[in-house]
Homo-oligomer: A and B are copies of this chain.
């Protein structure tokens, strides 16, 4: 769990710290700057709704209400719904890349350890997407327009991620690093997808087991 700004990002999905912001403030203390500034409340609410109901399945009105504000204020912070989507996606991507940096810092000079820890982190994140799958993956499916800014953000992120895995596989001394990297990446993406129909526990555990097997094997035959 990593804090980004004032937002708490938990397991790949931004979640509101209090379940119902809109209820807490009625007539009194109308605007006591409720700990979290409006803009971030909007982002949190949008992320929650986007993930649960689909990007196209939720209107800006619903987002504003869930954030405890109104549409007008939302449009004072975001030029359009598309920009809101983009910022939400950017937040998730940033968080994931921070996690990679953290991974590298904690296992400096130990690519095997990085890969193993990485599989464990992915596995533990699977719980939050048991019903709706990966938010980034769903976003790709929901934004077919190849020119949508959010799409580019996701695309570039995934390519950076793949590159990083490839680099790790090279450093780890895998005999065919390109093959291993693609295998790891298929496992990563596959786990996010499978969790919807097979369940998180099995998939998470087996993801970890497979990565462990591969890494142990690479360690021994080195």
Known pairs A187-B190, A190-B190, A194-B182; A146 contacts B131 (CB<8 A): yes
Q: Which residues of B contact A179 (CB under 8 A)?
A: 206, 209-210
Q: Are A182 and B159 in contact (CB under 8 A)?
A: no
Q: Closest residue to A182 on the B side, CB-wise?
A: B206
CB distance from A169 to the nearest CB of B (A): 12
Q: Which residues of B contact A222 (CB under 8 A)?
A: none
Q: Which residues of B contact A155 (CB under 8 A)?
A: 196-197
Q: Are A141 and B144 in contact (CB under 8 A)?
A: no
A197 to B189 CA separation, bound complex (whole angstroms): 11
- Residues on A facing B (Cβ under 8 Å): 52-54, 56-57, 131-133, 137-138, 140-144, 146, 155, 158-159, 162, 178-179, 182-183, 185-194, 196-198, 202-203, 206-207, 209-210
